[in-house]
Amino acid sequence: MLRRRGGTWIGWPGVELKKGERVSTRADAYRIAPVPLGETDIARYYHGFSNRTLWPLFHSLPGHTQFVRKDWNVYADVNERFAGVAMRHARDAKLVWIHDYHLMLTPEFMRRAHPEARLAFFLHIPFPPFDIFRLCPWDKELLRGLIACDLIGFQIENYAHNFMDCAEQILGARVDREAMIIEDGDRVARVGVFPIGIEFDLFQEQAMKARRESQRERVVLGVDRLDYTKGIPERIRAFERLLELHPRHKGNVVLLQLAVPSRSQVTEYRELKSEIDELVGQVNGRFATSTWSPIRYLYRSFPQERLCGLYRDADVALVTPLRDGMNLVAKEYVACQVDDPGVLVLSRMAGAAETMREALQVNPFDLDGTAEAIHRALTMDEEERASRIAAMRRRERRDDVEAWVEHFLAAGNEEAAHLDPISERELQQWLRGYVKSYPLCLFLDYDGTLTPLVSHPSKAKLSKEMREALMGCSRRVDTDVSIVSGRALDDIRKIVGEPNLVYAGNHGLEIEGPEIARFRHQDLVHYEARALELFGALEAIANEGAWTEAKGPTLTFHIREVPEARQARYAQKARALMTEHGYQARDAHAAVEARPPIGWDKGRAVLHILRERYGPNWSERVRVIYVGDDQTDEDAFRFLAGLAMTFRVGSADTPTGALHRLPDVEAVRRLLDWVGMRPLTEATPTQSSL
C-alpha cells in the first residue's frame, strides 16, 4: 500500500537492536520511522500483554489468558511511545492508520496531544463478545483508547457489534447501531466493517508459474502459523477420524500440514509444538504402512511461490481455526485454484466464513463433522467443485487487498461523524429501569454542568431554558434538587437564585436548604487563618491573568486567562504552594482547587444530604442522579458507585467513574427535561418507602 501511495510506516523493527545498531529507514516510495523496543518491552509489551493477554482473550479463549498488571503498564507505556513517534512524523498527515491489538491505546494518547488529528484503527483479529471482553481488568481503558479514533474498523459485522455492545455496556457510551456511531462524551467515532482481502492476482500468477511436483497421493493441505487458535491438534484428530470412518482413504490420501514457527518465546506455543509433534507421531504410528504415512508435517516457513504451488495442487484445503479474525490462507487457496478445482473446508469460526459461504463449513470442535466434510470434499464431483470455487474466486478477485485499502481510506477520510442530540427514548432506556416509580433526588454541579465553562466565574449564568428545566424538576413533589458546587455557599446560592433548592458550597463543606439543618464541617475553623496565608502566597505568583478566588475555607487558583503554553507551570507552582500550606490541591478546568485535607468531598456531602433529609434508610425511599463535569465530581462518582446513577459532562480526555457521559450542557438540559416530564410518582421523597 505504501509503495503505491507513499506515506510513513511507523513500527517496531521486530528485533532487539544491539548497542550502536540502527535500522535502515530507506525505502523507495515511503519513509520508515522505527520505534525501538528494549528487552523488557519485548517481554512485557509484546510477548506479555499483546500475546498472552489480548490475543487469547480476543479469540475467546480465556483459559489461555493471563492478566499481569506490570505487562499492562508496559503496554500503555509502549503505546504512548508509538503515539509520540507518530506525532513527530505524522503531525500534518491527512490520516494516521493504526493497526491491530498491539496499539489499542495509541489513538487516545494521540488524541489528547492532537485533538484535530484524523485517526483510524483496524483490528485484524476478532473483537470478543461482552461476556468475554469484560474479563479484562483494563476493559474501559482499551475501549476508550479506540473511541479516540474517528473510525474503528473490524473484519466482520459480528465483531463490530461486539465492540458496540461493550462500549454501551462497559463505558455507558451512546451507540447508534444502525448508523454505526458511538458517542462517548465529546468524542464521536464511526464503526465500520472492512473484510480484508489478499493480492489475488499475485497469488494466481504465482500458482500458474509454480513448479509441479510429482505426487502419488491426494493431498489435504493445512497451512498455518503455529498457534493454538488455528486448531492444528483438532485438525489432526479429525483427519484420524476420517481414516477410521472411511478406511478407503488409507494409502491414498495424506494430510500435508505446514506450520510456520511463531512466538516460540511464549511457553504455550512451545507446549503446543510438543503436543503436535506427539500427535503426528501417534497417528502415523497407528496407520502408516511401509509405503504410506497419513501425515506429513513440516515445521518451517515456505517461500510464497512454493506455497502457491502447494495450494494449487492440493485436492482439499483444511482451514479449521478455533477462532480467526479473517484467515488469509482460505483466500490464498482459492486464488491458486488455477486448474483442477479443489475444495475448501472452512471453519465457521473464521471471519472468512462470513463471506466464503460456498466453502464446506465445519465446526472445528466437532471431529466427526469435520471428518465427514473432508470425506465429502474428497469425493465431490468436478461440476460442484468448479461451481463452488468459481463463485469464491470471483468475490476474492473483486474484494482484493487493494479494494480493502481503498474502502478503508475512503471511510477514514469521510467527514467526522455525529449523533443527533440525546433523545427522550434513549434517556428512558438509560434511566427507566433504575428510577422506576421512585421519587428522585437530583444532585447537580453548576459550572460546566448547568452552564458552559466561561472565562470568569461571574459570567456563568443559567440560560432561560436551563432555568426552566431546573424548575420543572424542583417544582415536582416527587423530585428534590440539590446544587453541589466548588463555589462558596453564598456565591452559588446567589448565582442560581432559586430558594427551594438545597445548596452545597465549597465542595460540600457547607450545606444549606429546606428541611435540612445548616451544615458547616467542624474542622473548618482550623483553616480560616491558613486560608488567608495561602491566599497571600497564591496572589504573589498570580501574573499573566492568573488570579485567586477566596471562598472562605477553600480557594481556587484560576489560570484560564494565562497563555496556554504556560498554564501547566502556573498550575504546578500553585499545587506546590497549596501542599506547603497544608492544603490538598485538586486540578479542575483551567484552575487548581485548594481544599482542607479533612476527608470530605462532594460524595460525602451528597450522602450527608441524603441521610439528613430522608433518614438512614434513604435508599429505600429515593433514587439518586448525580451530574457533574470535573475532577472534584469524580469523588462523588466513585463514592456513589452502586448508590446512584452518575453522569459526567463534556471532554472525554480523562477517565471517569461515572456510569455515563453526556457531551455537553445541552444534553444535561435534556436530561432535566426528562426528569421534569416523567410520569408523576404518588409519594414525595420524604414519605416514600416503595
Taking the complex as a whole, the smallest distance from the CB of residue 440 to ligand ADQ amounts, in Å, to 49
Taking the complex as a whole, the smallest distance from the CB of residue 216 to ligand ADQ amounts, in Å, to 22
Residue from the set 143, 188, 266, 326 that interacts with ligand ADQ by CB under 6 A: 326
CA angle 12, 17, 21 (to 5 degrees): 120
Instruction: Please report whether residue 224 would count as binding ligand ADQ according to CB under 6 A.
Output: yes
Looking at residue 53, what DSSP letter applies? Answer: I
User: Pairing relation of β-strands 181-184 and 174-176?
Assistant: antiparallel
Letters for 624-643 (x = contact with ligand ADQ by CB under 6 A, - = none) are --------------------
Which triple of cell numbers denotes residue 594?
Answer: 485548594
By beta-carbon proximity to ligand ADQ, the closer residue of 307 and 649 is 307
Instruction: Please report whether residue 572 would count as binding ligand ADQ according to CB under 6 A.
Output: no
Collect all residues with Cβ–Cβ distance below 8 Å to 507 and sequence separation of at least 6.
Answer: 484, 485, 486, 554, 593, 595, 600, 601, 602, 605, 632, 635
- Residue keyed to cell 472468512: 352
Catalytic annotation on 445?
A: yes
Letters for 105-144 (x = contact with ligand ADQ by CB under 6 A, - = none) are -------------------xx-------------------
Instruction: Please report whether residue 86 would count as binding ligand ADQ according to CB under 6 A.
Output: no
Q: Is 105 left (phi over 0), alpha (psi -120 to 50) or beta?
A: alpha
Residue from the set 223, 322, 440, 534 that interacts with ligand ADQ by CB under 6 A: 223
By beta-carbon proximity to ligand ADQ, the closer residue of 31 and 124 is 124
Taking the complex as a whole, the smallest distance from the CB of residue 330 to ligand ADQ amounts, in Å, to 8
Spatial distance between the Cα atoms of 582 and 567, rounded to a whole number of angstroms: 23
Angle in degrees, 0-180, between the axes of helices 304-313 and 200-209, rounded to the nearest 10? 80
Of the candidate spans 79-87, 318-326, 452-460, 667-675, the one that interacts with ligand ADQ by CB under 6 A turns out to be: 318-326
Residue from the set 79, 206, 257, 327 that interacts with ligand ADQ by CB under 6 A: 327
By beta-carbon proximity to ligand ADQ, the closer residue of 257 and 474 is 257
By beta-carbon proximity to ligand ADQ, the closer residue of 326 and 345 is 326
Collect all residues with Cβ–Cβ distance below 8 Å to 287 and sequence separation of at least 6.
Answer: 240, 243, 250, 293, 294
Spatial distance between the Cα atoms of 194 and 155, rounded to a whole number of angstroms: 5
| Number of residues binding to ligand ADQ, judged by CB under 6 A | 18
Which triple of cell numbers denotes residue 504?
Answer: 452545597
Taking the complex as a whole, the smallest distance from the CB of residue 297 to ligand ADQ amounts, in Å, to 11
Phi, psi of 455 (to 5 degrees): -70, -30
User: Pairing relation of β-strands 181-184 and 187-193?
Assistant: antiparallel
Asked if 296 contacts 254 with a C-beta cutoff of 8 angstroms, the reply is yes
CA dihedral 106, 108, 112, 114 (to 10 degrees): 60
Taking the complex as a whole, the smallest distance from the CB of residue 283 to ligand ADQ amounts, in Å, to 20
- Residue keyed to cell 444532585: 443
Nearest to 608 by CA among 634, 639, 638: 639
Taking the complex as a whole, the smallest distance from the CB of residue 358 to ligand ADQ amounts, in Å, to 19
By beta-carbon proximity to ligand ADQ, the closer residue of 2 and 590 is 2
Instruction: Please report whether residue 264 would count as binding ligand ADQ according to CB under 6 A.
Output: no
By beta-carbon proximity to ligand ADQ, the closer residue of 308 and 431 is 308
Residue from the set 160, 189, 328, 625 that interacts with ligand ADQ by CB under 6 A: 328
Spatial distance between the Cα atoms of 390 and 395, rounded to a whole number of angstroms: 9
CB atoms within 10 A of CB 21: 10
Collect all residues with Cβ–Cβ distance below 8 Å to 490 and sequence separation of at least 6.
Answer: 505
Sites for ligand ADQ among residues 294-313 (CB under 6 A):
301-302, 307
Asked if 154 contacts 120 with a C-beta cutoff of 8 angstroms, the reply is no
Instruction: Please report whether residue 225 would count as binding ligand ADQ according to CB under 6 A.
Output: yes
Catalytic residue among 324, 445, 447, 635: 445
Taking the complex as a whole, the smallest distance from the CB of residue 61 to ligand ADQ amounts, in Å, to 13
Collect all residues with Cβ–Cβ distance below 8 Å to 618 and sequence separation of at least 6.
Answer: 610, 611
By beta-carbon proximity to ligand ADQ, the closer residue of 125 and 644 is 125
By beta-carbon proximity to ligand ADQ, the closer residue of 65 and 567 is 65
Taking the complex as a whole, the smallest distance from the CB of residue 225 to ligand ADQ amounts, in Å, to 5
Catalytic residues: 445
Which residues form the interface with ligand ADQ (CB under 6 A)?
124-125, 196, 223-225, 258, 260, 301-302, 307, 324-329, 332
